[in-house]
Chain A
Amino acid sequence: MERTEAELIAAVLAGDAASFEPLVQKYSPRVFATARRYARRESEVEDIAQEVWLKAFEKLGSFRGEAPFEHWLMRLTVRTCYDFLRGHQRNRESTFSDLSEPESDWLERFVTQPEAATENAEAARLLVARILERLSPSARLIITLLEIEDRPVKEIAALTGWSVPLVKVRAFRARAEMRKILARLPKDRYL
């Protein structure tokens, strides 16, 4: 008979580390999907996911069971991703001078015929990833959670551990930061 989540957690807390495996198996897809929002290389994604699970194991005693385990785990995942972004700020140094041909083409198409530059294009995805990499860690986190994942401010506050007013202030700053980065695109060519 399959054990419930609460039973598995209780077993882990009682010292049965093997009971942690079904939890890792069940929730790893969500952890990986979240980590892929913040890290580009697959090795970095794996490192983040591994770190999340090690932390989850160490801090499992602090899980009170009032909210679902998944919510608790996602908070841990988002905070680990934020730590990762803060530790890898060197990626922000890249410039727009090395845009690939499809990216340049997409931007030119956007300038000449905005409706023709479809958001489903691979070039658009690469371009947005490049722009997100240039944002500060807090701005990237906020833009991802608020604009891309479309989460409410209250949920973001719970995920990040920031207060609601702080989330709003950081969202305002993040949008301004993103606009500033977009304005730095080679103006003569695209804007």
Chain B
Amino acid sequence: MNPAELQKKLIAAARAHPPGDGVPYAFEKRVTALLAARTTSSSAVLWVQGLWRAAVSCLAIALMLGVWAFFNPATTASAGDLSQNFENTLLAAVDQNAQTQ
């Protein structure tokens, strides 16, 4: 008696007993319901994922700009120019009225 012979016999036993192909009752309904639930939730998941990605991107950009602004502070002169220009623009109409009167 050798293991090879036993192996042959056991393989023959496995061939002689093929597994059943029975399907549980209403299995297809269960799968379809599961798919429908997944499709509904997947669209919500897509939105959430998209919004999270957008939030993370915005945060990263804000951080980068913050770091850039921290290490490259605006000079006092240019800051003064900017505020002066802003004030001139804002009060341009008032100035024009004063000049015409």
Q: Which residues of A line the B interface, CB within 8 A?
A: 17-18, 20-22, 24-25, 28-30, 32-33, 36-37, 46, 49-50, 53-54, 57, 110-111, 114, 117, 119-121, 124-125, 127-129, 131-132, 143, 147-148, 150, 175, 178-179, 182-183, 191
Chain B residues touching A, range: 20 to 34
From B5, which residue of chain A is reached at the shortest CB distance? A114
Q: How far is the CA of A147 from the CA of B36 in the complex (A)?
A: 40
* Top 4 closest pairs, chain A to chain B, by CB: A36-B19, A124-B13, A29-B21, A119-B13
Mask of B75-95 contacts with A, CB within 8 angstroms, 1/0? 000000000000000000000
Mask of B1-25 contacts with A, CB within 8 angstroms, 1/0? 1111111011111111111111110
Q: Tell me whether B53 is interfacial, beta carbon within 8 Å.
A: no
Chain A residues, CB < 8 A from B23: 28-29, 32, 49
Chain B residues, CB < 8 A from A183: 3
Chain A residues, CB < 8 A from B21: 29-30, 32-33
Chain A residues, CB < 8 A from B1: 110-111, 114, 191
Chain A residues, CB < 8 A from B22: 29, 32
Q: Tell me whether B55 is interfacial, beta carbon within 8 Å.
A: no
Q: How far is the CA of A17 from the CA of B33 in the complex (A)?
A: 9
